[in-house]
Amino acid sequence: MITAMQREILELVRKFRFLKQDQVEQWAAGSLGMKPGQIQPALRQLHKLGMLICENGLIYLPHRKPDPRLMTAFNVMLELTGGNVCNLERGTFPFSLVFTLSDEAGSKPFMISVIDSDNIASAAKAFSSAKISTVITLVIALEHIEQRDMLPLRNCYIALPDGQGGYRYFQSEDGSVSSGIQYAGQSPGNSI
């Protein structure tokens, strides 16, 4: 028999197939309020029951392969929110991940799209025809800033790798990119 928190973790891994252990730990702390000392035993038990595999810092279901774009989208979501999100789901291309961030001011829907050299042409076509509501906060994770010029993007945020495992965020308005968002080490989710 598994606990309600373990069911939530298992559901997360089923949705996203393959995650890093630190991603699951940060999400569980933010969304479920689990303390670090609770997460390891919960994962160990799920592993011993054969419900998921925990090895080499990765957590996944048997017979599943990693999706690097989805793992990147999950990293961006964690950096933006600390894992405290609602309605976390896999997206439909070109969106990798969708979720809602709630606070005293209300709910804010987010969509994260991960663009790399393998999917940039199809993403550009999809973004050209997509009707994206201005109510949604769109975050596009790119490999490098030059990819921005290949996409028809307006009124969104661009996440670029910072070389240290995190991301630097830029705002794109009317097709131009500016680095006007300064986070000073705090979660950018509070500013976006």
Return d(Cα 157, Cα 138) in angstroms, integer. Answer: 6
- Which one-letter DSSP state was computed for residue 181? -
Min mean pLDDT across 2-16, 118-132, 148-162, 164-178 is at: 164-178
pLDDT band, residue 174 (cuts 50/70/90): low
97-103/137-141 β-pairing = unpaired
- pLDDT value at residue 48: 94
Structurally, at CATH architecture level, domain 68-178 sits in: 3-Layer(aba) Sandwich (3.40)
What is d(CA 66, CA 33) in angstroms, rounded to the nearest whole number? 26
Task: Tell me the mean pLDDT in the region 182-191.
Answer: 39
Sorted by where each begins, the domain ranges of the chain are: 4-60, 68-178
Residue 82's pLDDT is 84
Q: Report helix angle 4-16 to 36-48, nearest 10.
A: 70
pLDDT in tens, 29-85: 888 888 878 888 999 999 999 999 999 999 999 888 888 889 899 999 988 888 888
Q: What one-letter code names the amino acid at 162?
A: D
Is the pLDDT score of 180 beyond 60?
no
Architecture of the domain delimited by 4-60: Orthogonal Bundle (1.10)
Q: Show Cβ contacts of residue 8 under 8 Å, excluding neighbours closer than 6 positions.
A: 28, 31, 32
Q: Helix H segments across the chain?
A: 4-16, 21-27, 36-48, 68-81, 120-129
- How much is the pTM? 0.78
Would you state the structure tokens that stand for residue 184, as one six-digit string?
A: 């000073």
* Selection from 112, 97, 105, 108 nearest residue 169 by Cα: 112
Do strands 18-20 and 86-90 pair parallel, antiparallel, or not at all (unpaired)?
unpaired
- What confidence tier does 184 reach under pLDDT thresholds 50, 70, 90? very low
Q: For 163, which DSSP code?
A: S
Higher pLDDT, 147 or 85: 85
